[in-house]
Structure 1
Amino acid sequence: MVLVGVHDVHKWYGGQTVLDGVHLELTPGDRTALIGRNGSGKSTLLRLIHRVEAPDAGSVFVRAGVQVGMLEQDPDFPPDATIDAVADAAFTELDAAQLELETLERAGLDDPERYARWEPLHEAFERRGGYARRARRDAVLHALGFAGRGAQRVAGLSGGETTRLALARLLMAQPDVALLDEPTNHLDLAMRAWLEGFLGRYPGAVVVVSHDRAFLDGACTRTVEVRRGALRQADLPPSRYREAERERELLEAKTRENQRKEHERISAAAAQMKHWAGQNAKLHRRAKAMEGRVERYAQTMLDGPPPADRSTRFTFPASESGDVVLDARHLRAAFGERVLFDGVVLGLRRGERVVLVGPNGAGKTTLLRILTGERPSDDPRGAVRWGARVRVGYYDQALARFDPEATLLETLLRLVGERAAHDLLGRFMFPYDAQYKRVADLSGGERARLALLDLTMLEANVLVLDEPTNHLDLEMIEALEDALDVFEGTLVVVSHDRRLLTRLAQRVWEVEDGRFEDYEGDWSYFERQRAVRRGGAQADGDVAVGLESGASAGGSRRPDGDERSTWRLERAAERLEADVERCAAALERAEADLARLNDAAAERPEAVDAGELAAAGEAYTAAEAALLAAMSAWSDVDTLLQGRRAAPDAAERLLQ
Structure 2
Amino acid sequence: MISANNITKEIPTGVLLKDISFTLGNKEKVGLIGQNGCGKTTLLKIILGVESYELGSIQIQNETVVHLPQLFSFPQDISVREYGLRLVGSEKQFYLFARNLSKLGLDEKHWDTTVNSLSSGQQMKVKVAELLLQEPTVLILDEPTNHLDIDGILWIEEFISVFDGIVIMVSHDRSFLDNTISHIFEIDEKQLHVFSGNYSDYLEQKEHWVEERRKAYARQEKKREQLEQLLENVRKIKGGKQRGKAVKAAKKRMEREVLRDEINSYSRDTLDEIEFGGETHTGKIMLKVAKLTHSFGDLSVFENTSFEIRGNTRVWLFGPNGAGKSTLLNIITHKIVPTSGQIEIGTGVRWGYFRQNQEELDLDLTMKEYLHDVLHLTQAQLYGFVKKYLFPKEYVHRKLGNLSPGQRARLVFGVFAEQELDLLILDEPTNHLDIWTKESIENSLKEYKGALLFVSHDRYFVEEVDVDRIVTIENKQIKEIW
* Partner SS state of residue 377, structure 2: coil
Q: Residues 392-438 of structure 1: CA distance to partner in whole angstroms, max 9, x if unpaired?
A: 21113555554432211232234201121122123333212333221
Aligned partners of 1:140 and 1:171 also within 8 Å: no
- Which residue type is aligned with residue 418 of structure 2? M
Distance 1:265 1:354, change over 3 A: same
CA shift at 1:270, angstroms? Answer: 9.2
* Whole-angstrom distance in 1 between the partners of 2:49 and 2:88: 21
Would the alpha carbon gap of residues 368 and 277 (structure 1) be closer, same or farther in structure 2, given more than 3 Å must change? Answer: closer
Q: Is the 8 A contact 1:70 1:180 kept in 2?
A: yes
In 1, Cα distance between equivalents of 2:462 and 2:260: 44
Q: Contact 1:36 / 1:473 at 8 angstroms: preserved in 2?
A: yes
3-state SS, counterpart of residue 110 of structure 2: coil
Q: Counterparts of 2:331 and 2:5 in 1: how far apart (Å)?
A: 54
TM-aligned CA distance change 1:89 to 1:265, over 3 Å: same
Query: Match for residue 317 of structure 1?
Result: 277
In structure 2, the residue matched to 1:206 is: 167
1:305 equivalent in structure 2: 264
Q: 1:58, CA displacement in angstroms?
A: 1.6
Tell me the alpha carbon deviations over residues 250-285 of structure 1, each in whole angstroms, 9 at most, x when there is no partner: 22212321343255447757987998999xxxxxxx
1-structure distance, mates of 2:409, 2:398: 15
Higher relative contact order (CA 8 A, sep 6+): 2
Is the contact between residue 210 and residue 216 of structure 1 (CA under 8 Å) also seen in structure 2?
Answer: yes
The answer to which structure has the higher strand fraction is 2
**Map of 2:103 onto structure 1:** 139
3-state secondary structure, aligned to 2:444:
helix
Q: Structure 1, residues 165-201: CA drift from partner, whole Å, max 9, x if none?
A: 4355335655211111011122100111121121111
Q: Distance in 1 between matches of 2:332 and 2:279?
A: 20
For 2:478, the aligned partner's letter is F
Equivalent in the alignment of 1:169: 130
* 1:236 positional shift: 2.1
1:60 maps to what in 2?
A: 58
Q: Tell whether the 8 Å contact from 2:220 to 2:258 is kept in structure 1 after alignment.
A: no
Cα separation, 1, equivalents of 2:459 and 2:228: 54
Structure with the greater alpha carbon radius of gyration: 1
Matches within 5 A, 1:174-573: 175-262=136-223, 264-265=225-226, 298=257, 303-305=262-264, 308-313=267-272, 314-321=274-281, 323-378=284-339, 380=340, 382-396=341-355, 399=358, 402-414=361-373, 415-504=376-465, 505-512=467-474, 514-520=476-482
Measured after TM superposition, the shift of residue 149 of structure 1 is 2.5
Mapped contact 2:10–2:16 kept (Cα < 8 A): yes
Answer whether contact 2:3 2:21 (CA < 8 A) is retained.
yes
Aligned-residue Cα RMSD (Å) equals 3.5
**Please, what TM-score do these two structures have when normalized by structure 2?**
0.86
8 Å contact from structure 2 (residues 231, 251) kept in 1: no
Residue deviations 1:558-590 (CA, integer Å, cap 9, x gap): xxxxxxxxxxxxxxxxxxxxxxxxxxxxxxxxx
Q: Which has the higher helix share?
A: 1
Task: Assess if the C-alpha contact under 8 Å between 2:101 and 2:126 holds in 1.
Answer: no
Matched, 1:41 2:48: no
Following superposition, the deviation at residue 488 of structure 1 comes to 0.3
TM-score, reference length from structure 1 = 0.64
Residues 164 and 435 of structure 1: is their aligned pair in 2 closer, same or farther, counting only changes over 3 Å? Answer: farther
Question: Structure 2: how far apart are the matches of 1:89 and 1:366?
Answer: 35
Q: How does 1:13-24 map to 2 (within 5 A)?
A: 13-24=11-22
User: 2:223 touches 2:258 (CA, 8 Å); kept in 1?
Assistant: no
- The answer to whether the 8 A contact 2:70-2:141 is kept is no
1:449 Cα shift?
A: 1.8
Q: CA deviation at 1:363?
A: 0.8
Alpha carbons 1:364, 1:511 under 8 Å: kept: yes
Instruction: Confirm whether residue 72 of structure 1 aligns to residue 69 of structure 2.
Output: yes
Distance 2:473 2:134 in 1: 33
Deviation of the 1:72 alpha carbon? 2.5
What SS class does the counterpart of residue 45 from structure 1 fall into?
helix
Structure 2 alignment gaps of length 5 or more: 240-245
Distance 1:30 1:239 in 2: 17
Deviation for aligned residue 1:215? 0.8
In structure 1, C-alpha distance between the alignment counterparts of 2:268 and 2:346, rounded to whole Å: 42
- Is the 1:325–1:386 Cα contact (8 Å) retained in structure 2? yes
Q: Which moved more, 1:508-517 or 1:431-440?
A: 508-517
2:242 is aligned to: none
How far off its partner does 1:212 sit? 1.4
The 3-state SS of whatever aligns with 1:488 is coil
Structure 1: give runs of 5+ residues left out of the alignment. Answer: 97-130, 279-286, 521-656
In percent, how many aligned pairs have the same letter?
28
Q: Which amino acid aligns with 2:130?
A: R
Change (3 A) 1:17 1:448: same
Task: Classify the secondary structure of the residue corresponding to 2:104.
Answer: helix
Measured at CA, do residues 364 and 436 of structure 1 come closer, stay the same or move farther in structure 2, by a change above 3 Å?
A: same
| Partner of residue 49, structure 2 | 51
Residue of structure 2 equivalent to 1:125 = none
Report the CA distance between 1:33 and its aligned residue.
0.4
